[in-house]
Structure 1
Amino acid sequence: MRISVIGAGNMGGALAKGWVKAMRDGADLDITVTARTQQSLDRIKADFPELHCTLDNKTAVAEAEIVVLAVKPWMAKTVIDEIASEGRLDGKIFISVAANILPEDLKAMLPGSTAQILYVMPNIAAEYCQSMTFISPADDVPAETVKTVERLLSLLGKTQVCDLKTLAAGNMLAGCGIAYVMRFIHAMMQGGVELGLYPANAQQIAQQTMTGAVAVLQESGLHPEAAIDKVTTPGGLTIRGLNELEHSGMTSAVIRCLKAGMK
């Protein structure tokens, strides 16, 4: 499968790197990535020599079966005008990860094109094949194309095909939420340092604790509160800490944090 990623920034780079790792595990992919500067391409090529790198967006698109638009939203129209000229996108699967550039916007930028358009929201964990990715196809995209894209993105973690409303909510939990989880880990680190741990040790402990909590929920299928009950002894240390979090409004703060991005 020949894929061209237009843009080697944080998101485009994460997708390209994740797919290379999938290739190293046996996935049959051929990945081209583009950037505005040779320096950007040299940086990504140094650690991922399997990538084809070019400054020429038009050539990259012409040779691809799947085109991934991974540029800043304000650059989308200019880049689409460039890569869609002379019908280069016709018949191809066109995936956009440009935030808030929805399928209807993409169609308006591609009048008369036969490209199969999908709006996709992964997160930066795609680089490590642990993304939570949401897929929202345009109404006229065939089911087989959606399955193809789902299989491709499943190489980078978990996927969910959904409508735009669900995608927007899911993106707050996953795309933005990955930063909120990192902020919680950082808060645990700060607390650990105050308790006498060195920062690097506190980070290692906090990260493994987060990994362990996720593993418990995934492997057991327990609701979080049921799992919490397993480590909450009456009158013990855990319940004291949990109550302090609630006295400080943790649950309300998290809900408000997620809703803030939907306004």
Structure 2
Amino acid sequence: MRTIAVFGAGKLGEVLLSGLLRAGWSADRLLATARRPERAQELAERYGIKVVDNETAMLEADVLTVAVKPQDAGVLLADLGPKLPAGKLVVSLCAGLPTAFFARHLPEGTPVVRVMTNTPALVDEAMTAISAGPHATAEHLALTEEMFRPLGRTIRVPESQQDAVTALSGSGPAYFYFLVEAMTDAGILLGLPRQVAHDLIVQTAIGSAVMLRESGEHPVKLREAVTSPAGTTINAIRELENHGVRAAFLAALEAARDRARELAAQSG
């Protein structure tokens, strides 16, 4: 079993560590780095893993998972790059940073895999997209999938699609929370107590998502099954269309994708 190091074990890094442990990874094969001593102690006590400095993690681990904030990645890579031994796999969790950014800081030929996951990783329901950099092999991709499978589902995409992935599923949970917030307000307007409206909507969202996943049906077909002629649902959908909700979602996701591209360009 390979040794994995998580550089910058914040919330997302901790989620990955806990998922690996649940999947049977041995604690003595996991390393982490943390800026604050109290955070390092917390991780060591909670998971029984070693929390070490960056150079020790680089030398002892086979897989170097970079989970620092994107704006801090350049400093980390500038420090580690000149010392990086051959044969290490680098896995990036840095939103918006292309593998070309890592290639500029790391020795020639270093394999890099780019990963975009989302916050449902906290409940093992993440959607994780994985992309190979120029020197990453099928074996590197398979290892990365093995790492993230405990957190939910994984999918391989060309790196050119990662900005779209960021817009769709990386930011996606926020759109659903926004929708639940709006529907809760609507429920209150219609006379329901807030908690009742919230419970109705959340369970409806869970059930609908499970039906989409398990039935394999197109969402249009599932929607039509709820939409009776001259009924309540078709009247509601007419108002959504009148207010341009579909067009608003298209524009919103394009805006998110464009911002992801801007952030990548700013990284240099």
Counterpart of 2:157 in structure 1 is 162
Q: What is the SS of the residue equivalent to 2:31?
A: strand
More helix by share: 2
Distance in 1, matches of 2:134 and 2:179, equals: 38
Q: Cα 1:41–1:237, aligned 2, differ >3 Å: closer, same or farther?
A: farther
Alignment of 1:180 onto 2:179: no
Structure 2's unaligned 5+ residue stretches are 259-268
What are the Cα deviations for residues 175-222 of structure 1, in whole angstroms up to 9, with x where unaligned?
Answer: 011111111111112222222333333222211111111111111111
Shift of 1:85: 4.6
Q: Which of residues 101, 112, 129 is equivalent to 1:105?
A: 101
Distance in 2, matches of 1:19 and 1:197, equals: 42
Alignment of 1:153 onto 2:148: yes
Q: Residue type of the partner of 1:68?
A: T
What are the Cα deviations for residues 97-135 of structure 1, in whole angstroms up to 9, with x where unaligned?
Answer: 1122211110101134x5321111111222222111111
Counterpart of 2:58 in structure 1 is 61
Distance in 2, matches of 1:209 and 1:111, equals: 50
Counterpart of 2:90 in structure 1 is 94
Q: Residue type of the partner of 1:102?
A: P
What is the identity percentage for the equivalent residue pairs of Structure 1 and Structure 2? 30
Q: Residue type of the partner of 2:37?
A: Q
Alignment of 1:6 onto 2:2: no
RMSD (CA atoms): 2.1
Distance in 1, matches of 2:178 and 2:80, equals: 38
Q: Cα 1:42–1:196, aligned 2, differ >3 Å: closer, same or farther?
A: farther
Q: Cα 1:221–1:196, aligned 2, differ >3 Å: closer, same or farther?
A: same
Alignment of 1:252 onto 2:221: no
Counterpart of 2:73 in structure 1 is 76
Structure 1's unaligned 5+ residue stretches are none
Counterpart of 1:206 in structure 2 is 201
Moved more, 141-150 or 251-260: 141-150
Distance in 1, matches of 2:4 and 2:133, equals: 20
Report if the CA contact (8 A) 1:68-1:96 is conserved: yes
Shift of 1:161: 1.4
1:124-135 aligned within 5 A: 124-135=119-130
Counterpart of 2:32 in structure 1 is 33
Q: Cα 1:51–1:125, aligned 2, differ >3 Å: closer, same or farther?
A: farther
Report if the CA contact (8 A) 2:133-2:159 is conserved: no
Shift of 1:223: 0.6
Q: Residue type of the partner of 2:19?
A: G
* Number of equivalenced pairs: 256
Q: TM-score scaled by structure 1?
A: 0.88
